[in-house]
């Protein structure tokens, strides 16, 4: 999704999170690892929505991920 | 329609880094959403780069605080000194999530119309100042052990 909607983004690993940067916008708290409970992915999509809002790529992310 | 609740959130944390100890007190804004399929999400407005979920509002709030605490330690781990830490955390707090802020304002209007309420949560003026205070408590001078000779 980031490759498609946020060309030029930077992904950096910190101790607890992924830090995603796009231009001057930063989302430093994307969860690492299994990204929560993959048996219930719908409850984890909130992280992606909030990141997309913060990076101003929400419309593209919604279309790409077919979010409501 | 999914119920949305405008929150005013306050956290205070002590951060112990390699070379300093600091306190961080934040009065932020966040939007709580009760999902139709169950569970809660809290989305940050200030700071905007954060979100958390839980089975209950209280659980989501606890997770939000934990995520914020982890963020502070991530920054402290990488910062070159207190000033760099303070600058980065300030920048994080000031980065408003604009779309969530718009929803937050709509949710405030809905609370004022009496459309939504949280029975066990106190009310406070939406215009209450949102701010962050970062204070240096001590400079640490932790040195590697030396062999006395």
Averaged pLDDT score across all residues of chain B: 94
Query: With 0-12 CB in 10 A as exposed, 13-18 as middle and 19+ as buried, what is A46?
Result: buried
Distance from CA of B59 to the nearest CA of A (A): 14
What is the number of alpha carbons within 13 Å of residue A11 lying toward its C-beta? 10
Cα–Cα distance for residue pair B107/B52, rounded to 1 Å:
18
Cα–Cα distance for residue pair A27/A54, rounded to 1 Å:
7
Report pLDDT digits (tens) over A7-40: 999 999 999 999 999 999 999 999 986 554 445 5
Domain extent listing, chain A: 2-61
- Model pTM score: 0.90
Nearest CA in chain A to B77: A15
Cα–Cα distance for residue pair B46/B98, rounded to 1 Å:
9
Q: How confident is the model at residue A41 (pLDDT cuts 50, 70, 90)?
A: low
* Complex confidence, ipTM: 0.87
- Whether B26 has its CB under 8 Å from any CB of chain A: the answer is no
Report pLDDT digits (tens) over B45-61: 999 999 999 999 999 99
What is the number of alpha carbons within 13 Å of residue B47 lying toward its C-beta? 27
Tokens representing B18 are: 């390699």
Chain-centre distance of CA A64, in angstroms? 12
| B142 pLDDT more than 80 | no
Per cent of chain A over pLDDT 70 is 82
Inter-chain residue contact B77 with A27, CB threshold 8 Å:
no
SS3 at position A34: coil
Inter-chain residue contact B74 with A46, CB threshold 8 Å:
no
Inter-chain residue contact B74 with A17, CB threshold 8 Å:
yes
């Amino acid at each position: 999704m980031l490759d498609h909607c946020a060309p030029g983004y930077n992904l950096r690993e910190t101790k607890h999170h992924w830090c995603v940067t796009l231009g001057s916008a930063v989302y430093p708290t994307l969860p690492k690892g299994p990204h929560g409970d993959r048996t219930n992915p719908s409850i984890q999509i909130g992280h992606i929505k909030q990141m997309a809002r913060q990076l101003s790529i929400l419309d593209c992310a919604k279309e790409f991920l077919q979010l409501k | 329609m999914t119920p949305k609740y405008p929150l005013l959130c306050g956290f205070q944390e002590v951060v112990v880094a390699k070379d300093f100890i600091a306190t961080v007190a934040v009065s932020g804004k966040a939007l709580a959403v009760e999902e139709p399929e169950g569970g809660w999400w809290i989305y940050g407005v200030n700071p905007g780069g954060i979100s958390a979920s839980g089975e209950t509002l209280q659980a989501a709030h606890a997770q939000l605080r934990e995520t914020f605490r982890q963020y502070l330690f991530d920054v402290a781990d990488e910062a070159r000194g207190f000033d760099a830490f303070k600058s980065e955390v300030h920048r994080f707090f000031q980065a408003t999530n604009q779309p969530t802020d718009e929803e937050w304002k709509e949710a405030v209007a809905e609370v004022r119309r009496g459309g939504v309420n949280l029975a066990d949560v106190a009310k406070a003026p939406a215009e209450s100042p949102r701010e962050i205070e970062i204070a240096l408590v001590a400079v640490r001078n932790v040195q590697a052990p030396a062999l006395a000779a």
